[in-house]
Amino acid sequence: MEIKGAESALELDDIQSGVLRPRPTPYAATYVSFRIDDCTAGRDLMRRLSTVVSSAAASSALDASVSVALSFQGLKALRVPQASLDSFSPEFRQGMAARAHVLGDDGESAPENWEKPLGSPDLHVVVTTLAPDTEHLAAVLDRARAIYRKLPGITAIWRQDCYALPNEKEAFGFRDGISHPAIEGSGIPGTNPNERPLKAGEFILGCPDEMSEAHSIPQPEVLGRNGSYVAFRKLHQRVAAFRRYLKANSSNPDMEELLAAKMMGRWRSGAPLALCPLHDNPELGADPRRNNAFLFKKDDPIGYDTPRGAHIRRMNPRDADVAGVVRIHRMIRRGTSYGPLLPDGVLDDDGLDRGLMFAFVGAHLGRQFEFVQSEWMNDSAFFGGSVAKDPVAGASDANGSFDIPRRPLRIRLQSLPRFVVTRGGEYCFLPGLRALRWLADLNT
């Protein structure tokens, strides 16, 4: 999709494309992380990257693109002045591993069990390269490699290859990448015609947001302006366990599909229960003009169609009655699958690692990402529910439960295990392009 600069009130040529521009379908992506051992080399890396990072004003989503993000430790390695470091949000300064207690990262998901070097102070820079296919990706990666290869003070320490399939199915078999918010002034329409565009400051630092005309941003202004925060999370999916759970709690294959849909809030085709509660409708699921055009409050306040505990209703309750204001807890998602799919019908784990490289993009790590993860995903007080967690991605233990409202009596599923295990992640800052050059020119 093309973003027309003329339609935009935002400084698109300064904002990284990964923030605003929808990704192509299908696509291949690679995350490469770096440690900066030498500050001068780190600043040189910023200068070189600033010449290849794509801006949101670039012409077409079909192009390959490169984006760059820095952790708090990365900013320190570049010797950003202390007053500036102190102006970043407290969650970012602490880093994701230190926030494990808020995020539900306990037991197997705890930072001590994370894949190294995720969650360690060594992860400084994350470069994400994206292209419509692996051939184009290889060419862009070659160009990117030329940038850091001759910088002796920079070490590539982690790499993750990812992809989005043409049908956009993630490892559990659901169509992903459907629901995106509209952002005021961006020129990009949202996917739900019933949702009023959100103020740009919800996603881009330095713009008015839903709560204030001028919220504080990292300083100096040239560093914070047009930046965003990003939360990367490598989420392992237990696909065989998910399939076994569906089977064990259903009397036939049709019921299995219905149960999967109740847990997600959408059929695997992407068709929402809100629009087709009884039967799947793959044509609707694949139709971007219709598959996100719904609300909950008027037609389904109780959750007879879409349970209030279903993944998509928790993650975005839309107009439903919940404690809190939904509009200040929205996010841009840039999720990408990794690992081979488990072949259809297989119910035993094959030991291979597969899942989602989840990426949140927004201006507020605390009230957006952490709030949704802790209150809406891993608690249910917000909609007056029991103690249940998100049935798909929540940090359940074997005692999890999930309520499916039904007349005359609801169904309560018990013994829900954890289907998603955190392998690691980090909070990063996605600077605007001017800010990248400011980082390169630092002389502290």
Question: Position 109: which residue type?
Answer: S
Q: Which is nearer to ligand HEM, 136 or 327 (CB)?
A: 327
Q: Between residues 225 and 234, which has the closer beta carbon with respect to ligand HEM? A: 234
Give the residue carrying structure tokens 């072949």: 343
By the rule CB under 6 A, 242 interacts with ligand HEM? no
The Cα 360–Cα 316 span in angstroms is 14
Q: How far is CA 149 from CA 6, 18, 45, 98, 281, in A?
A: 38, 24, 10, 32, 50
* Residue number, 15 or 372, with CB nearest to ligand HEM: 372
Measured distance CA(288)–CA(179) in Å, rounded: 9
The only residue of 77, 178, 204, 332 in contact with ligand HEM, by rule CB under 6 A: 178
**Distance between CA atoms of 219 and 91, rounded to whole angstroms?**
16
Give how many residues touch ligand HEM by CB under 6 A: 26
Which residues, in sequence order, are CB contacts of 347 under 8 Å at separation 6+?
Answer: 240, 243, 244, 247
CB of 253 to ligand HEM, least distance (A): 20
Quote the least distance from Cβ 228 to ligand HEM, whole Å: 16
Contact 46, 78 (CB under 8 A): yes
239 forms part of the interface with ligand HEM (CB under 6 A)? no
Q: How far is the CB of 247 from ligand HEM (least distance, A)?
A: 18
CB atoms under 10 Å from CB of 202, counted, come to: 28
Q: How far is the CB of 330 from ligand HEM (least distance, A)?
A: 7
Residue among 242, 338, 358, 438 that touches ligand HEM (CB under 6 A): 358
Quick check: helix, strand or coil at residue 161?
A: strand
177 binding ligand HEM? (CB under 6 A): yes
Q: What is the DSSP letter of 97?
A: G
**Which of 88, 294 has the CB closer to ligand HEM?**
294
Regarding 174 and contact with ligand HEM (CB under 6 A), the answer is yes
Detail the DSSP E strand segments found in 97-172.
125-131, 154-164
Tokens of 334: 């840039």
For the segment 297-336, give every residue that binds ligand HEM (CB under 6 A). Answer: 311-312, 315-316, 331, 333
Min dist. Cβ of residue 178 to ligand HEM (A): 4
Closest CA to 413 of 214, 211, 259: 259
Which residue, 140 or 361, has its beta carbon nearer to ligand HEM?
361
Contact flag: residue 373 with ligand HEM (CB under 6 A): yes
Residues 6+ apart with CB under 8 A from 189: 182
Structure tokens at 276: 């087709």
- The only residue of 50, 128, 129, 179 in contact with ligand HEM, by rule CB under 6 A: 179
- Asked if residue 425 binds ligand HEM (CB under 6 A), the reply is no
- Return residues touching ligand HEM (CB under 6 A): 170, 172, 174, 176-179, 235, 237, 264, 266, 311-312, 315-316, 331, 333, 355-356, 358, 372-373, 377, 392-393, 420
